[in-house]
Amino acid sequence: MINKRVETAINEQINAELWSAYLYLSMSAYFNEVGLNGFANWMRIQWQEETAHAMKFFGYLAERGGRVLLKPIADVPARWEGPLNAFEEVLKHEEHVTALINNLMDIAIEEKDHATKSFLQWFVDEQVEEEASVQEIIDSLKLVDVKGNGIFMLDRELKQRVFVDPSTAE
Which residues constitute the domain of residue 49? 4-158
Q: Is residue 70 part of a domain?
A: yes
Q: How far apart are CA 57 and CA 21, in angstroms?
A: 14
In a domain, 89, yes or no: yes
Share of the chain above pLDDT 70, in %: 98
- Summarised one tens digit per residue, pLDDT across range 51-61 is 999 999 999 99
Q: Per-residue pLDDT averaged across 131-158, rounded?
A: 94
Tally the domains of the chain. 1
Helix (H) or strand (E) holding 84: helix 83-110
The enclosing domain of 123 has a CATH number of: 1.20.1260.10
Among the listed residues 73, 72, 131, 75, the one whose alpha carbon sits nearest the alpha carbon of residue 101: 131
Q: What is the pLDDT of residues 68-90, one digit of tens each?
A: 999 999 999 999 999 999 999 99
pLDDT bin (cut points 50, 70, 90) of residue 121 is: very high
Q: Quick one: DSSP state of residue 145? A: T
Query: pTM for the full model?
Result: 0.94
